[in-house]
Structure 1
Amino acid sequence: MASWVITECGLKPLPRIFPRLRDGLASNSSFPSEVRPLPIFKSYRLVSSLGVSSGFRGNSWALNVSAPLRVTSVGEGDQNRERDSGVNGLEDDGEFDPGSPPPFRLADIRAAIPKHCWVKDPWRSMSYVVRDVVVVFGLAAVAAYFNHWVVWPLYWIAQGTMFWALFVLGHDCGHGSFSNNPNLNSVVGHLLHSSILVPYHGWRISHRTHHQNHGHVENDESWYPLSEKIYKNLDNVTRTLRFTFPFPMLAYPFYLWGRSPGKKGSHFHPNSDLFVPNERKDVVTSTACWTAMAALLGYLSFVMGPLQMLKLYFIPYWIFVMWLDLVTYLHHHGHEEKLPWYRGKEWNYLRGGLTTLDRDYGIINNIHHDIGTHVIHHLFPQIPHYHLVEATEAAKPVLGKYRREPKKSGPLPFHLMGTLIRSMKQDHYVSETGDVVYYQTDPQLYGPEESK
């Protein structure tokens, strides 16, 4: 069952192209400082510029943030950028090619972001934790007090959304954007993630690889595309579960145990091939915390009754899972024009990061800590969530058309449901060959009209 799941994160041993972090390096130095532009040809199918691939694993969890220490310089010199790449990916005929190498470097984007956006304020970060925890317990108290069938559905939606907000704050701890204190990040991350049954270190390590390899067909770990061969070897049940709403929105817990098609490993097992030997103690710690939370939930179910715990915790938990899968999927799929995925020499950290998508969630933006500002987050995960909107606005002139303006949401992001369902009907697999590839549609799954 678990083999069909594709979702937020994962990790397997990869060829190393970035140097391993050495003891003593501060986490805020681990973003890439420069990516040189790549030459571009008029057809994305013929691009042959140099790039870099794969990712790295650091020696110390306390120092690992989800961006490589350095990106190898590739392509032509700075003086040839405009000549080779045009203006923000525009071809000679004026048409934008999303698969073309950008005419700017990562350092150009970083320079456009105000310096204060990089500052991590642990007191401010903790204030969001306190806010969310107070809301979580307040919602539970109100629902238990009224205990009415009208109240419970409203509670489930609200509390599931708050569980998702807790996850995002733990996510910041995993990136090191919560504070500069690795011990504080670890303690808060474990408390937040264990409370919603997420193994903090297991997730942190695999999510780091997602950031380091986003946009790479084989090496990415978050809703990465299936190759045509893997897709066509899926049984009908697995294919239905993977591409038919709402089943993919329930994937995350199964993924934590069994990973994705073509990849093996569990986020709970210290000897899993997700982890290197010096990470195993961290995984044991996270698994122990997860087990303690599971035992607490079992005890509370015995004391309060399983039905009451179902209403108070387990239904909101599945709403949280749906939020997590929905948001992570939509940040990497569903644009009106298909976005590229890369292999081999065509991939590098900058080009991969530029294929992420920003999304507008209406009033949910503030509740889940502006995670919809995803492009800048992917390129610079060290930036605290409360600076992401300002950093995105500052970087827009540099990013140009490589940052797709999200469709504005109403108070609630109902418009994203249509985007999600349409994408699942169209984005099925990519070609086995080619270094710049796009999603293709299986006409047998939804019929010839859906594949157009």
Structure 2
Amino acid sequence: MAGLVLSGCAIKPFSQSLPIPTKRFITNPSNINLLHPKDPIFSPNFHGFSRWAVKVSAPLRIPSIDQQDLDLERERISSLDVQEEEIFDAGAPPPFKLADIRAAIPKRCWVKDPWRSMSYVVRDVAIVLGLAAAAAHLNNWLVWPLYWAAQGTMFWALFVLGHDCGHGSFSNNAKLNSVVGHLLHSSILVPYHGWRISHRTHHQNHGHVENDESWHPLTEKTFKSLDWITRTLRFTLPFPMLAYPFYLWNRSPGKSGSHFDPSSDLFVPAEQKDVITSTICWTTMLALLFGLNFVVGPVQMLKLYGIPYLINVMWLDFVTYLHHHGHEDKLPWYRGKEWSYLRGGLTTIDRDYGWINNIHHDIGTHVIHHLFPQIPHYHLIEATEAAKPVLGKYYREPKKSSPIPFHLLGELVRSLKKDHYVSDTGDVLYYQTDDKPCKEK
């Protein structure tokens, strides 16, 4: 600190070794020597004085803290913040309740507008039909790859709207939800009620190792019991991105049953009629596609519907996998008393898909959707922003995407390489990695 003493004609700074005063006023300034006898001002050539002391009757003013001190203080505070981040435990029970998050979300976010929901259906169906008509008319190999990418993405958008019907966030009218859901999902070969019921199970048990329905981790024992073909198909691209049709028929490893079978243990007896209805709708769509082969030809049907269907499946597996895997920080899974609906839901991940966000109805805004699936998709962004102050570090801000979310391919690859299984024991678990190469047994 630069204190100054007026001495005759000269000005001399205080020695830096002096302590900084802790009080604003000096109560007895006559007892304080402000200069040191070895300072140059006491040399024999300076007016012959050998010692100077300053006595004042007015209070001394303490100068402000210099920039170096401010920088040091900022570094200290920053280091404390880093330490706090390092000790944050994502698997610890949060300091808030589900009701606290709900209370933070504006009431308008819970309002379901069936007209607005139907407007998205009309928009998406019109785009699907327009793309198919344009591609069939042009019938050019420079156009077909663009058509496949666009139409496959639109099929996925139809799935998301049917998904809203399944959650009841499309409207408050259960019959409208069921009719629209069947039309949308059957058109892309998804059994609406069969999927709706199993997806409800997923939401109600997300984050639970044994009870979750889709993309849940394998236990170490189950993982090591897999034959090399199954292990390769599950963890080697592109096979995991083509899993959805097989999941509908036979569920995940370690689980049994089919989304088409009303007697499957996926369903209770009261749901069997719904499952039969969905299976009939699915079969009808399959028969329609088979008949169209005789009208336009199998090659044309493959180009118009088959390849876009596969792109849709890849989108579905890609997005749903990354909702629950691949974050740079390891996220927990639970068993027993450690699991709760809130703690399980907080381990989902929001993703930014760039231009695709609007096309697939902001389904990447997934944390709030998982906690409150009754919120319509067009309110999810506002609801998430309102909930962030409550969620704190339990909310993980998604990385900003370029127009096309190529960065998420890297997240997918890294996750498939390391997120293999969880321990057979314990109640708060994290993915572990099998370092042994996959070989035929």
TM exceeding 0.5: yes
Task: Pick the aligned partner of 1:256 from 248, 265, 279.
Answer: 248
- Offset of 1:135 from its aligned partner? 0.1
Cα distance in 1 between the residues matched to 2:364 and 2:395: 13
Aligned residue runs from structure 1 range 238-277, under 5 A? 238-277=230-269
- Offset of 1:222 from its aligned partner? 1.7
**Residue 212 of structure 2 is aligned to residue 220 of structure 1:** yes
Cα distance in 2 between the residues matched to 1:375 and 1:445: 34
Cα distance in 2 between the residues matched to 1:122 and 1:222: 29
Cα distance in 1 between the residues matched to 2:119 and 2:289: 26
Cα distance in 2 between the residues matched to 1:204 and 1:171: 8
- Relative distance call for 1:92 and 1:159 in structure 2 (3 A) is closer
- Percent sequence identity is 81
1:91–1:97 Cα contact (<8 Å) kept:
no
Equivalent residue, structure 2, for 1:404: 396
**Residue 307 of structure 2 is aligned to residue 315 of structure 1:** yes
Cα distance in 1 between the residues matched to 2:244 and 2:184: 17
**Residue 354 of structure 2 is aligned to residue 354 of structure 1:** no
- Offset of 1:91 from its aligned partner? 9.2
- Offset of 1:215 from its aligned partner? 0.3
Cα distance in 1 between the residues matched to 2:429 and 2:175: 41
Task: Pick the aligned partner of 2:189 from 187, 197, 208.
Answer: 197
Task: Pick the aligned partner of 1:177 from 148, 159, 169.
Answer: 169
**Structure 1, unaligned runs of 5 or more:** 1-89, 448-452
Q: Which has the higher contact order (CA 8 A, sep 6+)?
A: 1
Cα distance in 2 between the residues matched to 1:183 and 1:340: 38
**Residue 360 of structure 2 is aligned to residue 364 of structure 1:** no
- Offset of 1:95 from its aligned partner? 1.9
Equivalent residue, structure 1, for 2:16: none
Name the amino acid aligned to 1:221: E
Cα distance in 2 between the residues matched to 1:93 and 1:136: 46
**Residue 305 of structure 2 is aligned to residue 296 of structure 1:** no
Task: Pick the aligned partner of 2:333 from 341, 357, 369.
Answer: 341
Name the amino acid aligned to 1:159: Q
**Residue 225 of structure 2 is aligned to residue 236 of structure 1:** no
Cα distance in 2 between the residues matched to 1:414 and 1:119: 34
Name the amino acid aligned to 1:340: P
- Offset of 1:445 from its aligned partner? 3.0
1:425–1:446 Cα contact (<8 Å) kept:
no
Cα distance in 2 between the residues matched to 1:202 and 1:302: 30
2:346–2:395 Cα contact (<8 Å) kept:
yes
Equivalent residue, structure 1, for 2:138: 146
1:257–1:268 Cα contact (<8 Å) kept:
yes
Task: Pick the aligned partner of 1:426 from 396, 418, 423.
Answer: 418
Q: Root-mean-square deviation (CA), in Å?
A: 1.3
Aligned residue runs from structure 1 range 272-283, under 5 A? 272-283=264-275
The structure with the largest alpha-carbon Rg is 2
Cα distance in 1 between the residues matched to 2:84 and 2:376: 39
